[in-house]
Amino acid sequence: MIPASNATLIQTAERRSSLRRSSLALTLTMAGGITLLTGCVTTVEAPAAANRPADALRNSDLDALHRARAAGAAGAVTERVLTGVVPLGEIPYDEMTLPVASPDGAYLATQIGPAPAWDALLASDGATLEPATLVEIHRLPITPGEPATKVATVSEPVVLGRGATATGVYVESPRPNGERWIGLADWTTGSIDWLVSDAGMVNAFATPGPDGRIAFVRRPVRGPAFELVVREATGAEWSLPADDGEWLMPTWAGDEGRLYVLHNAGGALSAVCMTGTSAEAAATTRSTLQLAGGKADRGIAYQTLASHVVTSPSGSPWPRVYLFHPVSFRTVVWEPPAAPVALDRGSVAAASDDADPGYVLMTLGDELVRRHILQSRRRAAVATGTLVPRATTSAERPYVLLAPGDGVISVRGLTVMAAD
């Protein structure tokens, strides 16, 4: 989920400190009017200062990648894409958290009412929800141009989660006794199946994985640090201890059990990639990307992976993750063993172009762009406005676009293909 607010895209050093307080909520510009481009679009990036490789990211391993990109990107390249965009209605939201789509793009779950406080979003002790903090489920129209339809309201106050399955959307519930439960709210009824309700435990930040797995983090009520837990469809589970820090925001990617998790050790934040099929596999397949040193907290970790919503079955087969880098303030693509790639400065979200894994759809403050991952000059504008793409499993509607506004999300369906 991507939090959003009416603030403008953060682009200056003076405003970067506010992200520590407000997470990714301040990275999106709320577009008043959105103009979508259809048909054939040609964009040429001017061979001026904007074509220089991005500044090297502090506290990261991206310097070599930047040099390789600069060496391989001589001269402007014209890209042509064919796009089809259809209106799919509007749904309400709390102006904080963007909706979560079902894997097939047929439903959206949206947080409504008073936005959850930060202690609820970050699974802190003492977290509570107001009675009107609810999740609604809306069905998107089959026929473009018709309105979206509310089909259910989740049965009690909950925090909208980070993932969804074909059956329902993940929700999390701070309990009066300090516990936190993880549930699956049915797409058609809103009823909750409580998946994780361990006594005396705070369970949080869950995402669905392949073969019925679920990854989440867990700590005792009033305990200081989260361990990583993977629970199998059978109910068996394995865990990794906090390792002088804590695990946060586990995120599945692809269909082969690739698991990305953030690790915070005394304010030093890293992303760790592992195979999430067993504790043994996780211990022997780790790759680590350092993100920030010394001052990171749970809020910074939350913003780093808030944009990467997970669905199972996945709308994208590629085992990569899209991180919002807490130092450079841009989206980073990481798929080990390949080196990480920094996208454009100011990019706040991205989704894979499944027709060509070399490309991504990238959200900037005022446009959606299809760009080559390694060759940054190869790009084409897809649509104008602040548009967050969600990949789906639908051949007719491979992407759902979310356009945040004042209290409402404008929803679009998108198809993209490269022109010959």
Map out the domains of the chain with their CATH numbers. 27-418 (2.130.10)
**Global pTM exceeds 0.75:** yes
The amino acid at 111: Q
Tokens in use for 57? 């990211």
Asked if residues 265 and 277 have their Cβ atoms less than 8 Å apart, the reply is: no
Residue 65 has pLDDT above 60, yes or no: no
The rounded mean pLDDT for the chain is 83
More confident residue, 419 or 394: 394
More confident residue, 331 or 316: 331
Please report, rounded to a whole number, the percentage of residues in the chain having pLDDT higher than 90.
71
pLDDT for 419 = 64
pLDDT for 25 = 35
DSSP structural state of residue 21: H
Residue 385 has pLDDT above 50, yes or no: yes
Q: What is the mean pLDDT of residues 78-94?
A: 88
Asked if residues 389 and 368 have their Cβ atoms less than 8 Å apart, the reply is: yes
**What is residue 29's three-state secondary structure?**
coil
pLDDT band at 355 (very low <50, low <70, confident <90, very high): confident
pLDDT for 69 = 43
Half-sphere exposure in the Cβ direction for 173 (13 Å, CA):
23
Starting at the edge strand found earlier in the chain, the sheet holding 359-363 runs 349-352, 359-363, 367-372, 379-384
Residue 257 has pLDDT above 60, yes or no: yes
Residue 320 has pLDDT above 60, yes or no: yes
Q: What is the mean pLDDT of residues 33-50?
A: 26
pLDDT for 143 = 92
pLDDT for 416 = 87
pLDDT band at 317 (very low <50, low <70, confident <90, very high): confident
Q: What is the mean pLDDT of residues 233-258?
A: 93
